Amino acid sequence: MAEITDEIFMQNVKEGNISEMSVLFERYHLRIYNFFFRLTYDMDVSQDLTQNLFYRMIKYKNSYKSDYSVKSWIFQIARNLHADYCKEEKRSEELFLKTDRFTVEPADEAEGYHEDDYDRLEKAISDLSDEQKEIIVLSRYQGLKYEEISAITNQSVAAIKVAMYRAIRQLRGIYFKQI
Amino acid sequence: MKCEEVELKMIDYLDRTIKESERQEIEKHLETCERCLDELKDTQQVLNLISKSEMKKPDDSLRINFYHMLHSEIKKNNESSNRPLHKTLIPWYNSGRYRIAAGIALLIGGTFIGMLINGGFNYTSASNELKQLRSEVLDLKKATMFTMLKDESSSDRIQAVSYAGDLSSPDQNVIDELIKTLNNDKNVNVRMAAAYALSKFANQRAVTDSLVKSLSLQSDPILQVTLINILAERKEKSALRPVQEIISNKKTLKEVRAVAENSLRVLI
């Protein structure tokens, strides 16, 4: 059976078959939850933001343009939600407390990595600027292509490549300084 | 190639998304530049670490909350904007909802007039009359439900299904009608509403059995997901077989398969 594209499902949702949103939920909720989690390190917040995202997709279904990539659209909404969340967070000045909430990644000792490494990596990522964090999450954790990130963030591919290089250089610096 | 350029292309080099000629140039540079080679190794280590990080799993409440939200949005949508134009132009007294309201008003009015005509208003007869009245209203609601289920408009059929879901103890006729709707209605939203209405009565063995049976009949991914979720939420062990069939069926969408596999945790 040929894969039915996200775009067809979203178009159907737009036309009133809202139940088809369940397919998009099943396709995306895990990645979106992880997108939020990598940026906030807060499971409850990530869960709320994910829930919110699918609510927005239904609420603003009419603003979806049928020739537009659903994946890009979803990540755009996700970015906006995260930006709104950060604004609120900054107001309540809790942001700096968040670094204590790390949960430990499973160890992968056979590959030569230890729990400590993942811990240090997460700490290093949390020291990056919001923009750098975001580009690393989109590109490396979510595996999006530069072209896709370009569509989501409205920046040129060349600009993203440079930003990506800088973010990784920064991350590398912080990560290895900790040793 | 200079250090700067090598640095800029390092990620693409490691991802092997670089032209062969550039790859060779970079490697030539790395042979002589120890600083760049160190940076390359460090970058590789960080990128590897990221790619080996596992996905976090949200807890089940995310999915449950989503389906609750979805269900209420579908209801809202059907009650308001989605009515086709010709429907809104039909006089109000012909639309399903008003037919019911008018019918109930007539019935209540008629009963009271009857009570008055039969003379006297003593309490025992009044309470008997009321009991009868209540059951007649229920009958009417049921009758209207059956009529509305045959309606052309899917929003009226959803309305009918939700009337049925409001009954506290529906009789076999209503259940049968809901099951028929779940398995045969041409509109997926109506079928889904029927699944949710039936899920309210899933403490009745026969209802659960019919939901399980329906799971093996449904080929629509949305219905499959809905039914699996309803049955998994109830930890309905008899759903195990149809769920396993869905998993092993080559035609199953991979999203549905993921939900099915996830449900195995509670079904096994």
Q: Measured in Å, how far apart are chain B's first and last C-alpha atoms? A: 60
CB-CB under 8 Å, A50 with B58: yes
User: Residue B86: pLDDT band by 50, 70, 90 thresholds?
Assistant: very low
- Summarised one tens digit per residue, pLDDT across range A41-74 is 899 999 999 999 999 999 999 999 988 899 999 9
Across the range A97-117, mean pLDDT stands at 52
On whether residue B243 sits in a domain, the answer given is no
Are residues A45 and A81 in contact, defined by beta-carbon separation less than 8 angstroms? no
Q: Quick one: pLDDT at residue B268?
A: 82
Q: Quick one: pLDDT at residue A105?
A: 40
Across the range B8-31, mean pLDDT stands at 91
Can you give the pTM of this predicted structure? Answer: 0.58
Across the range B105-133, mean pLDDT stands at 53
On whether residue B33 sits in a domain, the answer given is yes
Residue B88 has pLDDT above 80, yes or no: no
Counting the structural domains of chain B, the total is 1
Q: List Cβ<8 Å contacts ≥24 apart for B203-210.
A: B204/B175, B206/B175, B207/B175, B208/B234, B208/B236, B208/B238, B209/B238, B210/B175, B210/B179, B210/B182
**Rounded Cα distance, B171 and B183, in Å:** 19
CB-CB under 8 Å, A51 with B66: yes
Q: Quick one: pLDDT at residue B250?
A: 87
Burial annotation A138-156 (CB, 10 A radius, 16+ → b, else e): bbbbbebebebbbbbbeee
Q: Residues 6 or more apart from A39 whose CB is under 8 A from it?
A: A82, A130, A133, A134, A137
On whether residue B164 sits in a domain, the answer given is no
How far apart are the CA of A15 and the nearest CA of chain B, in angstroms?
A: 9
Q: Quick one: pLDDT at residue A99?
A: 44
Q: Tokens standing for B52? A: 């080996």
Across the range B130-134, mean pLDDT stands at 63
Q: Quick one: pLDDT at residue A169?
A: 93
Residue B119 has pLDDT above 50, yes or no: no
Q: Quick one: pLDDT at residue A9?
A: 87
Among B157-161, B165-169, B203-207, B221-225, the range scoring the smallest mean pLDDT is B165-169
Closest CB to A164: pick one of B11, B42, B62.
Answer: B11
User: Residue B108: pLDDT band by 50, 70, 90 thresholds?
Assistant: low
Residue B79 has pLDDT above 80, yes or no: no
How far apart are the CA of A22 and the nearest CA of chain B, in angstroms?
A: 6
On whether residue B25 sits in a domain, the answer given is yes
- Summarised one tens digit per residue, pLDDT across range B184-218 is 988 888 888 888 888 888 888 888 999 999 998 88
Residue A115 has pLDDT above 60, yes or no: yes
Domain borders along chain A are: 1-98, 106-179
Domain coverage including residue B31: 3-52
Q: Does domain A1-98 fall into CATH 1.20.1070.10?
A: no
Closest CA to B256 of A170, A4, A31: A4
Q: How many CB atoms lie within 10 A of CB A179?
A: 7
Residue B267 has pLDDT above 60, yes or no: yes
Closest CB to A105: pick one of B47, B53, B66.
Answer: B53
User: What is the Cα gyration radius of chain A?
Assistant: 18
A64 to chain B, any CB pair closer than 8 A? The answer is no
Angle at A57 between CA A55 and CA A61, to 5 degrees: 125
A90 to chain B, any CB pair closer than 8 A? The answer is no
**Rounded Cα distance, A167 and A132, in Å:** 5
**Rounded Cα distance, A113 and A122, in Å:** 14
ipTM of the shown complex: 0.80
The CATH number of the domain covering residues in A106-179: 1.10.10.10
Q: Quick one: pLDDT at residue B133?
A: 62
User: Residue A19: pLDDT band by 50, 70, 90 thresholds?
Assistant: confident
Q: What is the 3-state secondary structure (H, E, C) of chain B?
A: CCHHHHHHHHHHHHHCCCCHHHHHHHHHHHHHCHHHHHHHHHHHHHHHHHHHCCCCCCCCHHHHHHHHHHHHHHHHHHHCCCCCHHHHHCCHHHCHHHHHHHHHHHHHHHHHHHHHHCCCCCHHHHHHHHHHHHHHHHHHHHHHHHHHHCCCCHHHHHHHHHHHHHCCCCCHHHHHHHHHHHHHCCCHHHHHHHHHHHHCCCCCHHHHHHHHHHHHHCCCHHHHHHHHHHHHHCCCHHHHHHHHHHHHCCCCCHHHHHHHHHHHHHHC
CB-CB under 8 Å, A1 with B251: yes
CB-CB under 8 Å, B221 with A47: no
User: Residue B256: pLDDT band by 50, 70, 90 thresholds?
Assistant: confident
Q: Residues 6 or more apart from A102 whose CB is under 8 A from it?
A: A41, A119, A122, A123
User: Testing the interface with A: which of B222, B226, B262 to mutate, by most A Cβ within 10 A?
Assistant: B222
A137 to chain B, any CB pair closer than 8 A? The answer is no
On whether residue B47 sits in a domain, the answer given is yes
The residue with greater pLDDT, A18 or B169, is A18
Helix intervals (H) in chain A: 6-14, 21-40, 43-59, 70-92, 115-126, 130-136, 146-153, 157-177
The residue with greater pLDDT, B140 or B51, is B51
CB-CB under 8 Å, A21 with B49: no
A45 to chain B, any CB pair closer than 8 A? The answer is no
